[in-house]
Each structure stands twice: as C-alpha cells, then as structure tokens.
Amino acid sequence: MSPDQDVAGSSLAVRFASGERAGLSLAYDALAPQVRRWVRRFFQRPFEQEEAVQEVWLTAHRMQRQFDAGRAPLGAWLRALTANKCRELLRAQGRRPRADVPLDDVENAAWLDAESPEDSAFRSRAAAVLTRFIEGLPEEEAAVLKGALVEGQTHEELARALATSVRRSKYLKLKLLEKAARDPELLALAREWRGA
C-alpha cells in the first residue's frame, strides 16, 4: 500500500484511530515494510534499525488516538512520525542524520518515499554476486535460496515445494546463512550494504 493512498476514510484508518490493539495490528500488517524502509534512511545497521522500528510502533501505539482519520492518510501520518522518532533517537545518541536526510521535513517527510540512491546502485551489484553464489550451491540449497529470494516463500511453502519437512527447510536456511558468511564477496557486500 502506498502511504499516500486514500486510506483516510478506510476501515483501517478508523480502526487504528480507535486505539484498539487490533487496529494497530492491521496498520502494522499494511505498513510495516514502509516503516522499515523509512527507518533505513536514518539507521544503517540492522540492530539499530530493528530497535528504531520498535520505537516507531510503540510511539504509534501511544499516539493512536491522536490520529485523525479525517485529516491525513494513515501512511503519511506514520511516515512523519517515523521521521520525527528517528531524528529524536539520533539526537538522544548525540548523532546527526545521514547526509541525504533533509534538515527540515516538508509535506510530512514525503522525501522518505523516494528510493535511496545507495539502495538502487547496490541492487544490480548484489544480483551478480548472488547469482554466482547460487551457482556454486548443491541443488537442494539452491532451490531453497531461489524459493526464498525470488519467490519470497515461507518455510512451509519451501517445504511443500521441495517435498521435505519445515524443519529441514529451516535447517537448510541456517546452513545457507553459515555458508554465505564464509563467502568473502557476499560478506563484503552485506557489510557494505547495512554497515555491518
């Protein structure tokens, strides 16, 4: 869902504004990917991103009743909240936002919806490295990786596709992660991408 789509009058926005836990859950299901993407513009390291994402949703929960579904789309409201929270977290750590973060927010931090230049440049390089990595894998591991990476399959879907158990698909993922950590090129890519 685009954050600026007209959800102001939707049941999602209304339920969120009610302050119900279920309303927050619906908003999370609809907007969590956007929140993560917005947070990534402020924080590079995964652990910091995850902590910031949690803070954003906790703040959203505290402010649920202040959201006016008649005044702004929920996505735009959450986007502005995310930008403010991330700046606040950085300030609390005595840090400045990254260079591509505007000093002032206009239009409810709409800049956050533009793709990060780093991400777009990175994507084509990552594809080449991943292709090389997959080509060197045994058939079963390659199938797991393709299923997860290309098709976004869950453990259950992977298990069904490979005619194996969920436990084995989890094991294979774990094994893949360990193998990837021993691949210098892939590891360097990951470190560069997320500041790891």
Partner 1 sequence: MSHGQPIEAAVLGELAPEAEGAFRAHLETCDACRAEYDERRALAALLFAEDGAPSEKARVFAALPAEEAGLAKAGWWRWALGAALAGAVAVVAATGLGSRPAVDDVTLRGGDERPRSDVSLSVYAKRDGEPVRLVAEFPGSGEGTIGLDELVQLRFKGPALAQVWMVDAQGRRARWPQDGAVSARQQVGPGRFELEVRVPGPGLTPEALEQALASKPLDEVLPVAAKGVLVVTP
Among candidate residues 144, 142, 146, the one with its CA nearest the CA of residue 155: 144
In the set 8, 27, 52, 53, which binds partner 1 (CB under 8 A)? 53
Shortest Å, Cβ 127 to partner 1: 10
Give the DSSP letter string of 65-124. GG--TTTS-HHHHHHHHHHHHHHHHHHHTT-PPPTTS-SS--TTTGGGGSPPHHHHHHHH
Residue pair 149/158 in contact (Cβ under 8 Å)? The answer is: no
- Our finding on whether 90 is near partner 1 (CB under 8 A) is no
In terms of CB distance, is 24 or 105 closer to partner 1? 24
In the set 32, 95, 100, 115, which binds partner 1 (CB under 8 A)? 32
- Our finding on whether 189 is near partner 1 (CB under 8 A) is yes
Shortest Å, Cβ 170 to partner 1: 7
Residue pair 108/72 in contact (Cβ under 8 Å)? The answer is: yes
C-alpha span between 64 and 17 (Å, rounded) = 5
C-alpha span between 21 and 190 (Å, rounded) = 36
Q: Where do we find the tokens 């793709």? A: 115
In the set 38, 42, 57, 77, which binds partner 1 (CB under 8 A)? 57
Q: Spell out, one character per residue from 128 to 157, where the chain touches partner 1: x when CB under 8 A holds, - when not.
A: --x--------------x--xxx-x-----
In terms of CB distance, is 162 or 180 closer to partner 1? 180
Shortest Å, Cβ 137 to partner 1: 11
Count CB neighbours of 193 within 10 A.
16
- Our finding on whether 162 is near partner 1 (CB under 8 A) is no
In the set 81, 90, 159, 176, which binds partner 1 (CB under 8 A)? 176
Positions touching partner 1 (CB under 8 A) are 18-22, 24-25, 28, 32-33, 36, 45-47, 50, 53-54, 57-58, 61, 65-66, 126, 130, 145, 148-150, 152, 170, 173-174, 176-178, 180-181, 186-187, 189-191, 193-196
